[in-house]
Amino acid sequence: MSYTGPGFDPPAPRRFRRGALTVALAALVPGALLGWAVYAAVDGPGGGGGSATASASAPSGAPSSSTAPPSGGPGGPGDKKPGASPTTGSPSATASAPGASGPLAGKVVVIDPGHNPGNFRHAAEINRRVDVGTHRKECDTTGTSTNDGYTEAEFTLDVAHRMRALLEERGATVKLTQDADRPFGPCVDERARIGNRAKADAVVSLHADGSGAGNRGFHVILPGAVHAGAADTRAVVGPSRALGERIAGHFVRVTGSAPSNYVGGGTGLVTREDLGGLNLSTVPKVFVECGNMRDSKDAALLTSGAWRQKAAQGISDGVVSFLRGPGSAG
């Protein structure tokens, strides 16, 4: 999708002191302080999410340009890179073996890497419209890319692999909606169904934005209350917000990135009712826009293997904190 993040891997990122950030957020959007208050009060400094650094499960070298960049311009909101439920090939939901032990033993986490690397070769398939409850929209999109051609699809898969390793270490069973193991997709409606069928305890859809230069920072997209057609999010709005707040707090702590300076009023939290991946989910689910691929400073972060490991750690720590319940340190 389209989002940003601070300068980090070359040059060293600005570190935001949580105290100053909390004051700024209070001045900007008092009503949105709930998420940050939860982080400060529940996770606290240095608390939460098993900060033990885990080794990456994917290479951390320079970005590969072997995958052709997406055909569109900057990726707009769309369905935060929905997925395509292809007419050819079987639905993909690669899963780890159930975790034998650890604090998340018995928990199921679904990671949804936005946009399949093969989508750009299947324009007709991903452009077909699917029902997202409130309306019909494209099955999926190609996603965005940096100006140098590092694609959102490559980014999301890399972070998904790193998250899978971190969460499996904590005992979770982890499923991916796709692992570049199908020609395209899945479509946004099928992505939602994968999490629903898995009876996931948490679902995280990974993205990066394609906004204008100068727009920086991450944001977490939460489902709004939707009850129309096949969509009924009313039961998961609350748990999804709690999941999003935990992820946002830990993302700041681990990456040093600031909340988006162009959406969310400085809170890092955005509610939407037009995304099929959220509208059709019957389990707690959020989208994470990790940064803006079209901003050079954010792009430097997103193309850094070291920073992607931090992003994976921050998101995973938020998931762990959410799954362990109120008052848990992660």
Are the CB atoms for 83 and 188 separated by under 8 Å? yes
Q: Of 171, 172, 163, which Cα lies nearest the Cα of 254?
A: 163
Q: How far apart are CA 175 and CA 198, in angstroms?
A: 8
Q: How far apart are CA 245 and CA 267, in angstroms?
A: 10
At residue 136, what are phi and psi to the nearest 5 degrees? -115, 145
Residue type, 166: L
Residue 121 tokens, joined: 């070769």
8-state DSSP, 4: -
Q: Of 317, 314, 285, which Cα lies nearest the Cα of 103?
A: 317
Q: How far apart are CA 52 and CA 299, in angstroms?
A: 26
Q: How far apart are CA 152 and CA 43, in angstroms?
A: 30
Dmax (CA) of the chain: 52
- Strands 173-176 and 231-232, bridge-based pairing: unpaired
Q: How far apart are CA 235 and CA 27, in angstroms?
A: 31
Q: How far apart are CA 68 and CA 26, in angstroms?
A: 43
Q: Which residues are catalytic?
A: 289
Q: How far apart are CA 29 and CA 21, in angstroms?
A: 12
